[in-house]
Amino acid sequence: MLVLAGIAVILAGFLLRFNPLLVVAVSALVTGLAAGIAPVAILAAFGKAFNANRYVSAVYIVLPVIGLLERHGLQERARGAIAALKGATVGRLLIGYLLFRQITAALGLTSIAGPAQSVRPLVAPMAEAAAERQGVRPGGDAIPAMAAATDNIGLFFGEDIFIAIGSILLMKGVLEGYGIVIQPLHLSLWAIPTAIAALLIHGGRLWWLDRRLARAA
Amino acid sequence: MIGTNFIYSVAGLMFWAFAALSAADRANPKRFGNAGFYALLGVSFLFGDRIGDTGNGVLVLGLVAIAGSGAMGRGARRTTDPRERQAEATRRGNRLFLPALVIPATALFGTLAFTAMPRMIDPKQITLVALTCGVILALAIGYAWFRPRPAMPFSEGVRLMDGVGWAAVLPQMLASLGAVFALAGVGQVVGDIAGAAMPDGSLIGAVLVYAIGMTAFTMVMGNAFAAFPVMFAAVAMPLLIGRYHGDPAIIAAIGMLAGFCGTLMTPMAANFNLVPAALLDLKDKGAVIRAQVPTALPLLAVNIVLLYYLGFH
């Protein structure tokens, strides 16, 4: 039971708004000590896992290119392109992006889009430009936040259809631990019903957003 | 063989460029905090495999000390203003999209091409290697077209990186915390509690505990990967599969997706929820989560229904 103190540290640390890196480090220390692991061994285990997970932070290599293009007007051009497109609405634009993200993620192409690669330079400015034409006042959080949310939802409920993605391999490994051998394809097929539901639910919200804006205008 | 060594060298050198530019930014009172943080990240990418487990642990303590003491702040480097950008956007037109699209296009074709050369390119890292190639190609096009000063792309990159700040390494930190949790046997204890909370002899009760447990534990850990082995061992294996003879593939696949619904609702999933809010300069750092909850909750309900009706046939 004592090892659960680490989870309590995380919850308390977040509620009291301490720096999350500090909270995570303290939680690791508390958990390790509660389990009777020596402090140096905790440090080594943490360091080893940190090193093994560097690929998570490797995606930031796109920032210099994106920053350079922004300096030369990429976001403004993205707005202009949408403003010139008749019939473009924030809902239709994001439904299209949701489909694109789900399909490409289902093919294993998870890193071709993302908050740094596509949402900040392209999708968010386009969504804002479309929404402004529908009467949304510029500068609010709601439209860019919806663009980022659409990116996440498309990714999460598309990637599990791909057979070689991390979560599928993890499930295969866990099941094998219990002597149950299942082909990755069999696991990924059962991600399809939820993927369709995600498209309908989130797509429905985006369609509703368009209707709401049309009625308010 | 080209693999992580190539990707990590590029990332390490970039973070060192960020560190040098941050240190030289006299207008930023917190410039040395930023510089130290990026320099340590550069060391992690370039030399992480050579400094040993304890060395990496000490490196993490350094990152935590800088971030935890509030020593980081946004740089004050000048960039173009909105009017200059608008003028340039009009002048350059749709060609501005090309370098941005080179990255996904190279990632796509590279992924397909590299699959055919398993001896040259590490098959496990194909997409990231292809993405890195795309970034280098796009950067080369940017240099040739805009003719910026050599440091300019990195100066613009550090402007975006400062917006993300310490949150950049939170996902990596949480993955490491998960490793310590595993070592300490936290999963076992959580599993025992979930097992004890189980209403006896009720299939729908067991399905609910499994799906909602996946969501809740994912919200605490920020990652469904950490929650899955725990909830699978505690509820799915002994009850859903053992007692009620559910289909293991369906129970595993849809249980994982119930966990993904939790990822949409938690600040602990920093790379998906906090980093985009920082990158988009949102005033409310919880805005992305609030945009996701109305999709995540109905989708969780759908997953529970799918588990119940598809899982036991």
Cα–Cα distance measured from residue A150 to residue A95, given in angstroms and rounded to the nearest whole number: 8
> Which among A46, A72, A180 is the nearest to B57, CB-wise?
A46
pLDDT higher than 90, residue A148: yes
Contact of A116 with chain B, judged by CB distance below 8 Å, is answered with yes
Within a 10 A sphere around the Cβ of B122, how many other Cβ atoms? 18
Q: pTM here?
A: 0.87
Contact B94 A77 (CB under 8 A): yes
- For chain A, what are the domain ranges? 2-52, 60-216
* B98-B101-B107 Cα angle (round to 5): 140
Residue the block writes with tokens 């350059």 = B92
Contact of A47 with chain B, judged by CB distance below 8 Å, is answered with yes
Tell me how many helices (H) and strands (E) chain B has. 14, 0
Cα–Cα distance measured from residue A91 to residue A208, given in angstroms and rounded to the nearest whole number: 8
Residues 196-215 of B with CB under 8 A from A: none
Residues 122-161 of A with CB under 8 A from B: 122, 124, 141-142, 144-149, 151-153, 156-157, 160
Cα–Cα distance measured from residue A92 to residue A155, given in angstroms and rounded to the nearest whole number: 18
Contact of A56 with chain B, judged by CB distance below 8 Å, is answered with yes
Please tell me the distance in Å from B30's CA to the nearest CA on chain A: 17
pLDDT of residue A51: 95
Residues from chain B that touch A13, judged by Cβ atoms under 8 A, are none
Within a 10 A sphere around the Cβ of B256, how many other Cβ atoms? 28
Determine the residue among A9, A155, A156 to mutate to test chain B binding: the one whose Cβ has the most chain B Cβ atoms within 10 Å.
A156
Contact of B232 with chain A, judged by CB distance below 8 Å, is answered with yes
Residue the block writes with tokens 């936040």 = A145
Contact A51 B306 (CB under 8 A): no
Please tell me the distance in Å from B23's CA to the nearest CA on chain A: 18
Determine the residue among A10, A72, A103, A168 to mutate to test chain B binding: the one whose Cβ has the most chain B Cβ atoms within 10 Å.
A72
Residue the block writes with tokens 């204890």 = B189
Contact of A77 with chain B, judged by CB distance below 8 Å, is answered with yes
Residues from chain A that touch B171, judged by Cβ atoms under 8 A, are 53, 56-57
pLDDT of residue A173: 84
pLDDT of residue B132: 92
Contact A109 B61 (CB under 8 A): no
Average pLDDT over residues B277-297: 95
pLDDT of residue A113: 87
pLDDT higher than 80, residue B114: yes
pLDDT in tens, B4-13: 899 999 999 9
Tell me the percentage of chain A whose pLDDT exceeds 70.
100
Residues from chain B that touch A16, judged by Cβ atoms under 8 A, are none
Chain B residue with CA closest to A62: the answer is: B135
Please tell me the distance in Å from B201's CA to the nearest CA on chain A: 23
Contact of A83 with chain B, judged by CB distance below 8 Å, is answered with no
DSSP state letter for A136: P
pLDDT of residue A32: 95
CB pairs under 8 A between A and B: 413
Residues from chain A that touch B230, judged by Cβ atoms under 8 A, are none
Cα–Cα distance measured from residue B156 to residue B21, given in angstroms and rounded to the nearest whole number: 10
Q: Are A158 and B257 in contact (CB under 8 A)?
A: no
Cα–Cα distance measured from residue A3 to residue A9, given in angstroms and rounded to the nearest whole number: 11
pLDDT of residue B6: 93
Tell me what ipTM this predicted complex has.
0.89
Contact B267 A188 (CB under 8 A): no
Residues from chain A that touch B70, judged by Cβ atoms under 8 A, are 19
pLDDT in tens, B143-166: 999 999 999 999 999 999 998 899
Q: Are A127 and A144 in contact (CB under 8 A)?
A: yes
pLDDT in tens, A163-189: 767 788 888 888 888 889 888 888 889
pLDDT in tens, B51-106: 999 999 999 999 999 999 999 998 878 889 989 999 999 999 999 999 988 988 88
Q: Which residue, A157, A68, A59, is CA-closest to A112?
A: A59
Average pLDDT over residues A21-40: 95
Whole-angstrom CA distances from B98 to A12, B110, B128, B138, B139 are 47, 17, 20, 9, 12
Whole-angstrom CA distances from A155 to A106, A165, B161, B264, B306 are 8, 12, 23, 11, 20
Please tell me the distance in Å from B82's CA to the nearest CA on chain A: 8
- Return mean pLDDT, chain B: 91
Contact A149 B292 (CB under 8 A): yes
Contact B280 A124 (CB under 8 A): yes
Q: Which residue, A160, A152, A146, is CA-closest to A191?
A: A160
Contact A60 B11 (CB under 8 A): yes
For residue A36, give the 3-state DSSP assignment: coil
pLDDT in tens, B173-190: 988 888 898 889 887 888
